Amino acid sequence: MISKRQFFIGVLASSLLGGLIVLLGMGLLGSNNSNNPDDFSQTTSLTTSLGEIDETPRTYVVPEGINFIKASRSAVPAVVHITNTSAPSERSGRWSKLFGRERRVRQSTGSGVIISNDGYIATNFHVVEDADELEVRLDDNRRLSAELVGTDPDTDLALIKIKAGNLPFVDFGDSDQVEIGEWVLAVGNPFDLNNTVTAGIVSAKARNINLISGNRNRYGIESFIQTDAVVNRGNSGGALVNLDGDLIGINTAIATNTGTFNGYSFAVPSILVKKVMDDLLEFGEVQRGLLGVEIRDADGRFTDELSGVHIRGVNPGSAADKAGLKNDDVIVGIDDRSIKTTSELQEFVARKRPGDLISVKFKRGGDVKETSLTLRKKAEYLARTPDEISFTYKIEGAIFADITESIKYRLKVEGGVQMVELGEGAWKEAGLKDGFVITKVGDQDIDSLEEFQSILDNKKRDFYVMGKYPDGEKEYFKIDW
């Protein structure tokens, strides 16, 4: 057993040995330093060099496929900030006055994409909707007034114009060539943070989120490019570009439960955008052809087919009707393109114009068939021929007739009367237009022309009428009697 005395002697010896080693090491270091007279100057030079700035232009070496710099440089100068200023409507103004509230001017903001060097800008319809004034702020901070060229609520797109030249613009890319998993950039002005760029991948194509279509708009076209690039309020109308900086979509919506980005955003494909912009520029409105069918996805629940578009109904007199398509047929192709979903079908047809001839491949009872049809104008098949109008009722400059079965089917109404001719008088002064279908007078439903005539013959004071236009838009009017 080691005694206390031996233990302390051991500790002391270890301490002395350690101290000796430290002293020898310092001596050697000092000896080395003394043999290098330039050492201090080297240290000074090193310290100085850390504070200098290398002004040599950088050469970016980025792995192919994830270089966002080129796309950003191309897209950012061509994306603009849009301010929409609108005054309260006359109706909202009356309510404000009634409740003692001040009528306030409303402002909202969004984004747009310059698509030509002479100032044409693509954006969303909801960005410019109800605008009394539109102001565009460019990337160089110039602020210019814009005029509205045209809108298409069916695709939530709009075209505006500023008076300027030699502007940077984005070239249209081919959205058909976009691949799931491909890197893309979203450029816009979220939360009024100008020229914000975010990156993500394409996570799906031909996506329908029931934003435009549905009960609110029976003709709405949804075939969105879905990405996980961060998009927020203010990005609407901005650019979705590929890594070459080409425009492949207009950012339009996000999937969210909070009002802010929750993981997915949606853009209108560039091919559809270009078609709409061309129509608005050339005609002032979109020229859209219709098949004239009620459709849903073929997913095995209603037919034996697991993909394609199931025809639920064919409108009498429509292009599909004339081509021989029938209920329960499943459309699987248009021209040389396969069709798997309603979104794909709607987008492809929306690229066409009335009068265009297309080939339709469909399945009937398991057999593949093909037919050709000529697309017709929106609601053209609701037009009335003189032979279809047996009885009419003329009052206050307007002529009314019973609605046909095809109109009932298309508008999903059980009865009503249609204005087939509009002249000077109370109806025109109220703002009605040709083709309007009246389904209710006051709080009374209208089943037939005879009932409509009986009600109006006994009217002695002003009243309201409600109904729909042939495109499904609901309206009501006050008739000064």
- Angle of helix 342-350 relative to helix 270-283, nearest 10 degrees, comes to 30
What does the chain come to in residues?
A: 481
Q: If DSSP states are collapsed to H, E and C, what string results for 374-417?
A: ECEECCHHHCCCHHHCCCEEEECCEEEEECCHHHHHHHCCCCCE
Which stretches does DSSP call E strand in 143-273? 143-152, 157-162, 183-188, 196-207, 224-227, 239-241, 247-255, 264-269
Rounded Cα distance between 470 and 384, Å, is 12
Rounded Cα distance between 267 and 260, Å, is 16
Please confirm, yes or no, whether 236 is among the known catalytic residues: yes
From 72, 236, 265, 318, the catalytic residue: 236
Rounded Cα distance between 298 and 308, Å, is 5
Per-position b or e across 113-152, b if 16+ CB within 10 A of its CB: bbbeeebbbbbbbbbbeebeebbbbbbeeeeeebeeebbb
Query: Cα angle at 173 between 172 and 178, to 5 degrees?
Result: 150
Please confirm, yes or no, whether 328 is among the known catalytic residues: no
From 81, 126, 152, 310, the catalytic residue: 126
First to last CA, the chain: 124
**Biggest CA pair distance of the chain:** 131
Take residue 169 and report the two structure tokens written for it: 């613009």
Please confirm, yes or no, whether 156 is among the known catalytic residues: yes
CB of 178 closer than 8 Å to CB of 202: yes
From 152, 154, 156, 402, the catalytic residue: 156
Active-site residue list: 126, 156, 236
